[in-house]
Amino acid sequence: MQVSILVILLAVGYLTLKVGILDLASTRRLSGFLINITIPALILSSMQVPFSTDRLTQTYEMLALTAGLYFLSFIIGWLLSRVLTGSTGDRGVIQFAIVFGNVVFMGFPIVGAIFGSDALFFVAIANIFFYTLIFSLGVVMMTGGRMEGFNPKVLVNPGIIATIIGFILFLWSVQIPTPFIESITLLGSVTSPLAMIIGGALLATFPAREMAGDWRTGVISLVKIVAIPVVIWLVLRPFVIDPLLLGVLITLAAMPVGTNTSIFAEEYGANSRLASQLVFVSTIASLVTIPLIVTLLAV
């Protein structure tokens, strides 16, 4: 039911751009507001929890599990890119698409809807890898092995800063005083509806008739949103005792190809058309596959 609500918000965003209430420029400005203001606020508020050794242990476990997810995704992306194409530009896009899912825009609202606000602490921890790797390894992928255009300053971004501050406050059991925490919490609560509306609006910027792509697009999308989360679930289920950690990890693994894929492809001269097709197809397909993956977790 909660995922259905988010899908409706996605549709609202799509229609909002189609009828002209939003345009590409305003959508991008809202995306900047989301990334730089509301998501960091959500991270900070979600990490305002009492310190406990159990949660600290869960944090270390989440970091280890997320590292394993990215390692497996990288191997699968590397192999798949070499099986499907000989073009360097296409290979970079395929690898990037497999490794970097939409774990920020869709990850926070969907995990929150399924597992509750307590789970967002672990989404923030998991996204440390995303924020760090996308601006380093992601650039290498899109440039065919070069670090061309890489600026180390991008590794210091609002998401990373909010996570570090939030984790330090958690370790020291420091509570942000009133009325600041109420304001931060209120800003963070905007993230879920705004992220889905922006996601829908971004989908509307793609020409739907041109976004179906070829058979490769379907294969890559299915690997990203079905094969990887199912494999991770099968491998880890006997070993991970905490159902919340496993649930958060699998749900993040089931996120569609991130919109950054098309942005990075355009920026670094890779196949931006293929990137846009993968974003569009995987996002549409994920509206069906995410509820199925969630059902799998309950088995």
Q: What is the CATH number of the domain that holds 125?
A: 1.20.1530.20
> What phi and psi values does residue 145 have, to the nearest 5 degrees?
105, 0
Q: Count CA atoms closer than 13 A to 13's CA, side-chain side.
A: 26
CA 179 to centroid of chain Cα atoms: 30
pLDDT above 70 for 51? yes
> What phi and psi values does residue 178 have, to the nearest 5 degrees?
-75, 145
- Token representation of residue 207: 């020409």
Question: Cis ω on the peptide bond leading into residue 238 (within 30° of 0)?
Answer: no
Q: What is the mean pLDDT of residues 18-44?
A: 92
Query: Is 211 or 140 the better-scoring residue by pLDDT?
Result: 140
pLDDT above 60 for 276? yes
pLDDT at 148: 59
pLDDT at 38: 94
Range of the domain at 226: 2-297
pLDDT at 98: 97
Q: How confident is the model at residue 120 (pLDDT cuts 50, 70, 90)?
A: very high
Mean pLDDT, all residues of the chain: 89
pLDDT at 1: 54
Q: Which of 97-101, 212-216, 258-262 has the lowest mean pLDDT?
A: 212-216
Percent of the chain with pLDDT over 90: 63
pLDDT above 90 for 93? yes
The b-or-e profile of 4-39 (16+ CB within 10 A means b, else e) is eebbebbeebbebbeeeebeeeebbebbeebbebbb
Q: How confident is the model at residue 146 (pLDDT cuts 50, 70, 90)?
A: low
Number of domains in the chain: 1
Report the alpha-carbon distance of residue 262 to residue 151 in Å, rounded: 19
Q: How confident is the model at residue 154 (pLDDT cuts 50, 70, 90)?
A: low
pLDDT above 60 for 149? no
